[in-house]
Amino acid sequence: MNAPATKPVSAWLGEFVLLAALWGASFLFMRLGASEFGPLPTAGLRVALATLFLWPILLRQGQWPALRRHWRPILAAGLINSAIPFALFSWAVLHIATGLSSILNATAPLFGALVAWIWLGDRISRLRWLGLALGFAGVALLAWRAPAGTGLKTGHAAWAIAACLMASSCYAIAASFARRYLTGIPPLAATTGSQLGATLGLALPALWFWPAQMPGLRAWAAIVAIAVLCTGIAYILYFRLIAHAGPSRALAVTFLAPVFAVVYGAVFLHEAITPWMIGCGLVIVCGTMLSTGLVGVARARPGVAQRT
């Protein structure tokens, strides 16, 4: 079965950049929220408020029937694509810098290419294999000399890096899952339903680990921002990108998001930006561009659909 044809770059480039800016900010907001709420309540509130934000829009657009028809795969996607990775990243940003977390998140397209090859039968050329090797080498070098952050809990940096890689693997699996089971479903129905599925999955853990002391206004504002901007609106863009550009290219937004995340971390959290961090990030970005075929996309003529 052939994959759906993708649209030319000009049709989705603006949404690609906007999504990168929103997801780059999510690491900052996760740190601000998790520092007072804790990781699981932060992740649970994020998806619950996103569901509340999206639900009236879903009903107004008349997409409830689509969600009702396809509720099983949509709810399952929420667990893989939101509940698990959000919880992992919310824990990780308490132990490593947000900029480092975002760079590790850029491995999602690398894992995504592997998953699409194994699961969907996507072809991987020698150049793309080289990109995979280059990208994972960049991750290994970055983890070897991970930059320290300020105001972080110490002693769990290695586990935090592992948590980021596990979260990125979840995103990769979810992208191919969406391509296989959510193709043709309206993005708003898929987004709203997936956040509902994540909310159901995180409800009990979030309540169990709810903080004894009520968090302050800054933490609440961060949660609302990450729910509405970085989740509700961002996931509508994300599912649109999967439909218009394909799962590998949609995941490639994670190579641009670290640029925003590193800047946000430096400006608002006073995180250091080291030459080693930038160099390893560039290696990961180059590997990502090769492994997803993004270099070929950039050179393509408008109107010509690319195959990954």
pLDDT in tens, 156-192: 888 999 999 999 999 999 988 988 899 889 889 998 9
Kindly report the three-state secondary structure assignment for every residue of 198-219.
Answer: HHHHHHHHHHHCCCCCCCCHHH
257: tokens are 């998001």
What is the reported pLDDT for 154? 57
Region of residue 67 (phi > 0: left; psi between -120 and 50: alpha; otherwise: beta): alpha
The rounded distance, in Å, linking the Cα atoms of 86 and 96 is 15
Which residues, given as ranges, of the chain have pLDDT below 70? 1-6, 145-155, 247-248, 251, 292-308
Q: Yes or no: say if 53 and 232 are a contact pair by the CB < 8 Å rule.
A: yes
In 258-269, which positions are buried (b, 16+ CB within 10 angstroms) versus exposed (e)? bbbbbbbbeeeb
Question: Would you give the DSSP letter of residue 148?
Answer: P
What is the reported pLDDT for 299? 41
The rounded distance, in Å, linking the Cα atoms of 55 and 210 is 25
Task: Please report, to the nearest 10 degrees, the dihedral formed by the alpha carbons of residues 195, 27, 296, 233 taken in order.
Answer: 40
Question: Would you give the DSSP letter of residue 216?
Answer: -
Question: Would you give the DSSP letter of residue 63?
Answer: -
Report if pTM > 0.85. Answer: no
